Structure 1
Amino acid sequence: MTAAEYLSKIPEHIADAMRARGVDVDGIISYQYSDMDKDGNFADCWVFFDKEFLYILTGYDKVEKIRGNKKLKASFDFLSIDRIDHSTFKSVEVERYVSTARLIAHKKDESEPAEEILKFSLGIANKMVPLVRHFNDYKEGKTVEYNAREEDELFCPKCGSRYPDPERKICPKCMDKGSVFKRLLGFFKFYKTKLIAYFAMLIISTVFTVISPYLGTKLLYDNVLTQGVDDNLFGEVGLVLGVIIVARILSLLINIGQNYIVGGIIPWVVYDLKVRIFTAMQKLSVGFYTSKQTGSLMTRVNRDSNNIYWFFVDGAPSVVVNVLMFIGVLAIMLYMNWQLSIIVVVMIQLLLFLYRLIQRSFRKLHHARWINEANMSSYISD
């Protein structure tokens, strides 16, 4: 990677903020992001160095929505910029602590104490390593080499998105979500018989739900009530009502059986899942825990496990029932009046389009809610 390619990765709004303060961005040798300022306060900081100075740009990254445009515009809320003359520096180093780290500079005069440049959380420490190497190589008169692999490994090669955790090269957008579902189904292998009975009841219950309106409308209105007043039809009315009542009672009993079966399976599956998660967490390194919020970890274990519970108790059955009901109702509608059915199907496409638009907003809100819950849990735990 050339120097120009390396510098082109500086976010445009950060480069503009540097130029506005009289810094020649083209002369920058290396740079890195930090999440704390020198005093240890959380902020969006960028550290740069050129041939004369170390620059520390402090402020807050902001994202603004442009009216009439789907794209978001990034901007920088400037707080301060520090210029540090590094002519007296011999080298820089990252010092790591329990939950934080700092960038320090060693002086050419070894009798002088090291100077603290910047503080940052432990998760940023590894990202500071390239900056440290670039600075030390420059001070030693070596050619500063930019390792493309170092930068590229932070991003998914398929979609270009940054990995949430650089240590784990897993992209949420590109991961095979079907494989995750298959792994979850592996917890149900000890309950095959009950699952077969459950889905059999689910299908039968759906069939009763679909045919009940047909019995209550088609037979009652078309075959009985349209025949006029006739004493002989009272028996037909009673027969139709009896069929409807029996169908509803059978559907209710089957639903009770479904809930009984799933209520006996899912809690044990969630228990096995939590046991496996805690067992796996015991094998992780201390660095994994120091680089993560406590609340984030507890939210993943507890809340996500509960979400899996409700997915299999309420979510998955609802999807199966709704799909079967849609197919059944559509088949009956086509049988009764195919012209009207086509109009309904066209309207459904419009509803699906609106649903997709709304779902995007819900997804953002769900993500924001998850982050806030994790932060609150971390604050309470710590």
Structure 2
Amino acid sequence: NRRNITKKDDENMATISSGQITIVDLYDAPALNAWISANKTTTQTYNNQTKAYSPSYASSPLNLTLNLTKAGSTGSLIGSAVTGVKWTKIVGGTPTEITSTITTDTDYKGGTSNSVLTTKTNVPTDNNAILWKVEGTYTDPTTSLPITFQATINLTLVQLAKASVIAVVSTPDGDFFRNNTPASLKVTADVYKDGSISNGSRKFKWFIADSTVTTAQDTDAGVGWKKVTATTGTTGAVANSGFDTAVTTQGVLTVYPDAVTNGQTFMVVVTDNDGGTSGTKIKQYVTLKDMDDPIMTVIESNGGTVLKNGVGSVTLTARVFRNGEEIDTGGTMYTYKWTKWQDGTMNANFGGTGNAYKTGKTLSVGSADVTNSTMFKCEVNG
């Protein structure tokens, strides 16, 4: 099956998801989700006075792990079906493939199907970034089709100079949710003065990007940013200190899964409140991701995708998933609208009498409906 997701406004209701299938002489390859997770923060700081990194990957190596799932499913695909995994380090536009599996080397790959890359390389001060890329092939056991995948992750560097005030934001527990796991993620903000973490007074103001905010709630944030004022709770986003309240501790924003759909950007405005730099304000941003599609439509056929010699028929069923679990098995929660596409053009009379749509959770397709290769698309409205 070939699947995709769209979101748009319909004349009467919103299209929350869609799926499609092409009736051809082979099964379409399944869609894959590939991403890289890290076992520690991917933002380093470098003190130009002491010439020290924090954290230092040279002394405490960073592990990057390839994650691979089928769209609409939560099970890991890492195993014998994954082959040809290649890790590439890109610094200043120059790529270097990592081929070593020797643990004493600076960069080496390992784990099942070479899905783990261990690096002892600190981000260079003349580039301030390293881009890691992983790519490979997954052979689908159902169709025997090879499917290529690719994922990237950025490592960044913040340099601390003498007599400066810098705010450094990091995500020590990672920057993505998967099926509401973990239970929460933390975004931390530290203040550095003269190249070292400050223990002096500072203030934190946390915001969440929200396009519905058309009137600025705070002059430092402006339009499009919603204030985070909660200091307790188990939903949304919760700060560890009051909004713009003077504290001497690290700023921490605890974010729960319900606050992140696909991706959500947060901003912190840090105000130094100590010494000769009192009043200095710094803005920093971070984006958290939800690796699961909130609504995914998968089109299944009870008879494959091949009609031979112009005879036979199949029944297509639209299955709807949220967070890896199937919903609306009875077809009553949403409205299903099917269209027929031939050579990239939609049939304007597929539903008859000038109607391009047929409705229902299932669709019967016979040989008269298929010319060489015909695609059937289902929009799920709710």
Return the structure number with greater helix share.
1
State TM-score, norm by structure 2.
0.24
Compare the two structures and name the one with the higher strand fraction.
2
Q: Which structure: larger Rg?
A: 1
